[in-house]
Structure 1
Amino acid sequence: MNLALFDLDHTLIPTDSDHEWGRFLVRLGVVDEETYRRKNDEFYGHYKAGTLDIQAFLKFALAPLAAHPRERLNAWRQQFMHEVIEPAITPQARALVYKHLDAGDLCAIVTATNSFVTAPIAAAFGIKHLIATEPATADGLAESAYTGEVFGIPSFREGKIARVEAWLKEQGARWQDFATTTFYSDSMNDLPLLAKVTEPIATNPDERLRHHAAAAGWRIMDLF
């Protein structure tokens, strides 16, 4: 068996689901437009520059989840999927995922974006396993109210390796059990996990990752 890992934002979808969710909340009028838009764009800029303070960002990004009941959040998420995400999923991205699924590879999306936003996106691709940043709930139950805090290790930079290894352990597997391990990503923020796998593939890479991948002899894929 082979292992295929996919980053999500700008890798499988040509947008950033975390940033777009923030913009969606602004359009709904459920957050202060001027302040939230400014902070959302500021954090996104830090992410692209590789200077993001993940804890500060998550405190900002998860706060709206704690401010509203789950029923309302779920309705907004369904609308977000319909209006923003589903139109952005391309045939090329689906074909890439299906190639691995049809081959019987063990597949997972590994993303820094929180699981509330990304769970239905993984489902839309037919990928069973999602390794995402987990928002904490009041009593630890999946459908309980969110607290605005993070549960466990954020799935970001080196944290992606820790989270993948914990997930592999749950599957009764180790890195060395696979003939090949592949990771698709667009971002230099994912350099630790890209360097960990046997087949790193810079996918729609940002300028810094494209340069690094070319120098390292990694495969470069422009999916979109």
Structure 2
Amino acid sequence: MSKPKVALFDLDHTLLPLDSDYSWGEFTQQIGWTDPVRFKRRNDEFYAHYVAGTLDIHDYVRFAVEAMRERGEAAYREAHQRFMQDWILPLRPDAMELVREHQQAGDLVAIVTATNELVTAPIAAAFGVPELIAVQLERGKDGWITGEIAGVPSMREGKVVRVEAWLKQRGLDWLDVETTFYSDSTNDLPLLEQVDHPVATNPDARLRPIALERGWRILDLFQ
């Protein structure tokens, strides 16, 4: 019998033609939640560290969610609706088609992202993907975020850990399933190396030569 198939998708620059975390930061500047000069400088610094593979995810998340934490849940929800309309929608048809192909084939589909759950949950829902593995945020006694990460962050090796836990919840292990992972970034090398079918999707300048050397499939989705 053939194994069940699992299709895993990175989000930023893979299914989206932008970085949702960075874009959310720019959006909060736009609506006056953050100081435009100070915030942009730090946001750019963190993004450069992400691209270089040197990002401290805990420091970044504290920075990235500070405005949301201070404004509160109701303000976040209202702002995120605007963010979806102004920055995210409409979703790219080629990305939607790729996700639908796996869903229609009966594959178990999940989005696996290093961006936090508050930014990404509505985006995953727009893609019609209920299974989201994102950076989980710690909640305080009031039920709102504290600015800290809860559990293992889904970044670099953490994506492997989180996907493994997600499979285990379903009574599965890596050997029980046939896995495909789509990603653009060398930050995702640990999970790309773990799965059966790594797909370098819109690969960045560092991932493309690695994919070519290893004979991985390369998918330029947004050409």
Q: TM-score range by the shorter chain?
A: over 0.9
Q: How does 1:1-224 map to 2 (within 5 A)?
A: 1-87=4-90, 89-139=91-141, 144-178=143-177, 180-224=178-222
Identity over aligned pairs, percent: 54
- Structure 2 runs not aligned, ≥5 long: none
Q: Does the CA contact (< 8 Å) of 2:58 and 2:148 recur in 1?
A: no
Name the aligned partner's letter for residue 7 of structure 1: D
Query: Secondary structure at the residue paired with 2:206?
Result: helix
Which letter maps to 1:75?
A: E
Measure, in 1, the Cα distance between the counterparts of 2:135 and 2:115.
6
With the length of structure 1 as denominator, give the TM-score of the two structures.
Answer: 0.95
The alignment partner of 2:33 has SS state of coil
Q: Which runs of 5+ in 1 are unaligned?
A: none
What are the superposed Cα offsets for residues 78-104 of structure 1, whole Å, 9 maximum, x if unpaired? 1101110113x2110000000000011
Tell me which amino acid in the other structure corresponds to 2:148.
Answer: E
1:119/1:130 contact within 8 Å kept: yes
RMSD of the alignment, in Å?
1.0
Cα deviation, residue 57, structure 1:
1.1
TM-score by length of 2: 0.96
Shift of 1:38: 0.7
- Tell me how far 1:159 sits from its aligned partner: 0.4
Q: How many residues are paired up?
A: 219
